[in-house]
Structure 1
Amino acid sequence: MENVSVVTLFTLSGLNYTVEHRITLFSLTLLCYLIIWIVNVILILTITVHRSLHEPMYIFLCNLSINGLYGTAGFYPKFLMDLLSPSHVISYAGCLLQGFVIHSSIGGDLSTLAVMAYDRYVAICRPLMYHSVMTKQRVSLLVFFSWLAPLYCMFINTIAISQYKLCGSHIRKLYCTNWMIGNLACSTSIASNIIAYVNMFFYCAHGVFIVWSYIYLIRTCVKSQKNRGKFMQTCVPHLISLFIYSVVVLLDLMYVRFGSRDFSQSLQNFIAIEFLLIPPVMNPLIYGLNLTKIRNSILGFIQDKRKDGQCLDTNP
């Protein structure tokens, strides 16, 4: 173990590729990042422009896409620069910021999914109360909560980690995480451990709430054909998003704590970035294809553009 010192730079591992492979990887990564931006921006603009989509469920979905862009912005620009650079380092402040953005984005996804579960619970289990419960003020508070809660939790956690005295500067990952920085600490304090466990308990409570909501949703839908249709139309996409989120995040967490270094570097890198790749792409596609109003709005916009193009061609 190294002596205690003031760390100003961290070294990131995982990019031991040849120049030719780096160029290919850079092109694929840039393409993925562009796809993430395109599908999420299309969904955000569709919901923003069409007044018929200014409903709680679509507002929360728009929030989910914005959070996806926020989280990926903490990884992809730096990773693309690293692919073109011979040295893979990041400043101490930059490392803390990257960890803060990525972790708060993960928390933001779970908070938004919990809020969406609450919205579906009220819509299906308490339909007569829906408009009195999901008012503009309540929706605004829920959106505010889905951003404030993860930002506050990760801010406190990052402040606690920034107080650590470090005995190393090598991070065995493509990007910085609070867990990896904590592993470099010479010692940890009781306060920082309490903060970490409080955050874990807080987000475990999110998971329990989502499960509780869907127990009631399923019970209600079993009794009614109409509610069954609502469940298939609006809850199934949410469950698919929740399933994808849970699998990729849990796989990353399990690998970080119990994974073997005998895995190939490429497999380790994929496990490390899958939650920054799969949910931001899949969420807009899942909702865009399954929610009729969004699908019809996008198709209607495309058809209008085609008609405008045809009119211009016939009227030179």
Structure 2
Amino acid sequence: MDKLTSQFNVTYITLVGHVELLKYRHLYFVIMFIVYTLILLCNFTIICLIMTHRSLREPMYIFIAALLLNSVLFSTVVYPKLLIDFLSDKQVISFSLCALQSLFFYSLEGSEFLLLAVMAFDRYVSICKPLQYPTIMRKTTVSILLILAWLVPACHLLPSFFWVFSLKLCRFTLKGIFCNNAMSRLYCQRPQITYALYGAFIILNTTFMPFLFILFTYTRIVIVLYKSCKEVRMKAVQTCLPHLLVLISFSCLCSYDIIIARLKAGLPTTVHFVMTLQVILYHPLFNPVIYGLKMKEISKHLMKLLRIKTT
């Protein structure tokens, strides 16, 4: 049965995006468990370095720690349930938990874009208005920006979370391995124009506007650096390049997720499975690797830590 009902009349969704699960379940579990462990280890290592070294308690590094924490939260929304499903006979999830997983998934995705926009603003003030930097980027300002980065996407998406419970379900199988915007295919009726416009409003505020703001700040940075000396340019590149690499990586991830959601159900399950894995595999590991290798101060403390461990 697609629709499973318990004594409390809970509606369950069956996830049918797995490929050859009976044959490869243990291999899938081991690979994804290793990846999730590496995500936690790599991200928390950099976060702990930033939190424990006074030289790294600057706004730039605090924003990096927040970005890495967001990557951990983003992964934790997906990986634990995925690991349970690999070892379960039935890959099911209650509709309410499915909606909650989708809410957190896209809320944290929006938070990542806003955090990247905040980091771009920090670099803009540092490079274009260095004398005003201590006044603008105070501890209070940093705290407010971080709170807003996590709060704004959640507040935007919360009404849609409650809205989905007013819709009637006609399908109870989801072609995927976790809950995302493909949930819209489960409902009997197509989304209303009002809801479609609200969805566009959310995407505009949490994705396109931050992206345009980042482009604006980096345009201003490039103009200032063009008039600066070589030493200033090199120092700016060292701090801006990791941010740009992470931005490109995450933009590709978001585009990929949208493409998958827009593809029709006729796409082969194997192709859909492989494409979906790309969304959750690389980026959470990409962030700590980039900042650990490319940020000079973080890299220096990381090397010291590794030398201590090997002695």
* TM-score normalised to structure 1 length: 0.90
CA drift at 1:7:
7.0
Q: 2:48 aligns with which of 40, 45, 49?
A: 45
Give the distance between the partners of 2:175 and 2:77, measured in 1 at CA. Answer: 18
In the TM superposition, what whole-angstrom CA distance separates every residue of 1:80-128 from its partner, at most 9, and x where no partner exists? 1111112111001110111111111111111111111111111111111
In the TM superposition, what whole-angstrom CA distance separates every residue of 1:281-314 from its partner, at most 9, and x where no partner exists? 00000011011110111112233445xx5xxxxx
Q: Is the 8 A contact 1:13 1:88 kept in 2?
A: yes
Read off the aligned partner of 2:183 and give its amino acid letter.
I
Q: Is the 8 A contact 1:14 1:173 kept in 2?
A: yes
Determine the structure 2 residue equivalent to 1:114. Answer: 117
Determine the structure 1 residue equivalent to 2:171. Answer: 168
Give the distance between the partners of 2:188 and 2:151, measured in 1 at CA. Answer: 31
Q: 2:243 aligns with which of 235, 238, 261?
A: 238
CA drift at 1:273:
2.9
CA drift at 1:75:
0.7
Q: Is the 8 A contact 1:160 1:192 kept in 2?
A: no
* TM-score normalised to structure 2 length: 0.92
Q: Is the 8 A contact 1:30 1:80 kept in 2?
A: yes
Determine the structure 2 residue equivalent to 1:282. Answer: 286
CA drift at 1:259:
5.8
Give the distance between the partners of 2:64 and 2:296, measured in 1 at CA. Answer: 14
Q: 2:261 aligns with which of 234, 250, 256?
A: 256
Determine the structure 2 residue equivalent to 1:314. Answer: none
Q: 2:227 aligns with which of 223, 227, 246?
A: 223
CA drift at 1:190:
4.1
Read off the aligned partner of 1:207 and give its amino acid letter.
F
Read off the aligned partner of 2:261 and give its amino acid letter.
V
Which segment is superposed worse, 13-22 or 50-59? 13-22
Give the distance between the partners of 1:231 and 1:87, measured in 2 at CA. Answer: 52
Read off the aligned partner of 1:89 and give its amino acid letter.
V
Determine the structure 2 residue equivalent to 1:198. Answer: 201
Q: Is the 8 A contact 2:19 2:270 kept in 1?
A: no
The answer to whether the aligner puts 1:34 opposite 2:37 as a matched pair is yes
The answer to whether the aligner puts 1:181 opposite 2:183 as a matched pair is yes
CA drift at 1:20:
3.6
The answer to whether the aligner puts 1:25 opposite 2:59 as a matched pair is no
The two structures, once aligned, show a CA RMSD in angstroms of 2.1
Read off the aligned partner of 1:58 and give its amino acid letter.
Y
CA drift at 1:57:
0.7
Give the distance between the partners of 2:224 and 2:298, measured in 1 at CA. Answer: 26
Q: Structure 2: give runs of 5+ residues left out of the alignment.
A: none
Q: Structure 1: give runs of 5+ residues left out of the alignment.
A: 310-316
Q: Is the 8 A contact 1:245 1:275 kept in 2?
A: no
What count of residue pairs does the alignment treat as equivalent?
A: 303
Give the distance between the partners of 1:18 and 1:287, measured in 2 at CA. Answer: 35
Give the distance between the partners of 1:47 and 1:26, measured in 2 at CA. Answer: 32
3-state DSSP of counterpart to 1:74: helix
Give the distance between the partners of 1:185 and 1:260, measured in 2 at CA. Answer: 15
Percent identity of paired positions between Structure 1 and Structure 2: 31
CA drift at 1:181:
2.1
Alignment of 1:98-177 (within 5 A): 98-177=101-180
Give the distance between the partners of 2:303 and 2:235, measured in 1 at CA. Answer: 22
3-state DSSP of counterpart to 1:87: coil
Read off the aligned partner of 2:234 and give its amino acid letter.
G
CA drift at 1:145:
1.0
Give the distance between the partners of 1:305 and 1:39, measured in 2 at CA. Answer: 15
The answer to whether the aligner puts 1:273 opposite 2:284 as a matched pair is no
Determine the structure 1 residue equivalent to 2:216. Answer: 212
CA drift at 1:73:
0.9
Give the distance between the partners of 2:267 and 2:309, measured in 1 at CA. Answer: 53
Q: 1:72 aligns with which of 63, 75, 83?
A: 75
Determine the structure 1 residue equivalent to 2:306. Answer: 302
Q: Is the 8 A contact 2:128 2:224 kept in 1?
A: yes
CA drift at 1:160:
2.1
Give the distance between the partners of 1:192 and 1:159, measured in 2 at CA. Answer: 12
- Structure 1 residues 305 and 24: alpha-carbon distance in aligned structure 2, compared to 1, 3 A threshold: closer
Read off the aligned partner of 1:251 and give its amino acid letter.
Y
3-state DSSP of counterpart to 1:285: helix
